[in-house]
Amino acid sequence: MTSFRPSNLLIKATLVLVALLSSMLSISNAQASERSTQAWQALAQGATLIDVRTIQEFEQEHLSGALHIPLSDISTMANSLDPSATVVVYCRSGNRASHAKQTLHDMGFKQVINGGGLEEMKASKP
């Protein structure tokens, strides 16, 4: 007869949890690389690239050719852009870019792509 050992149950539960988290990260990474790949394709066709991070982040590092329009200024500074043109926005993680994308859509921009984060964009650069 096998005795019940809490440590075995804990080990099995931990392994299941690790497997689930690993698969979730794989899906998340696949989605992330898909959006940055889409961004690079749009940029190759002439899209405008906008970095929506802070000035300090932008000055530290940014993608070549990027315009700097901080998220806090996107609704006022984007007026100088053509709303019919394709725009790619990025930030550190993709969160601020998501907010910028929504703001630009609300302003009438038809084609806005969230490229995700800076490192994500750099990693998928063709």
CB 52 within 8 A of CB 91: yes
Q: Which of 39, 87, 91, 97 is catalytic?
A: 91
Q: Please state, as a whole number, how many other Cβ atoms lie within 10 Å of the Cβ of residue 81.
A: 16
Q: Which residues of 7-38 are buried (b: 16+ CB within 10 A; e: fewer)?
A: eeeeeeeeeeeeeeeeeeeeeeeeebeebbbb
CB 70 within 8 A of CB 53: yes
Q: Give alpha helix (H) positions in 1-126.
A: 6-44, 55-60, 74-77, 95-106, 118-123
91 is catalytic: yes
Joined together, the tokens standing for residue 57 give 């982040």
Residues with catalytic roles: 91
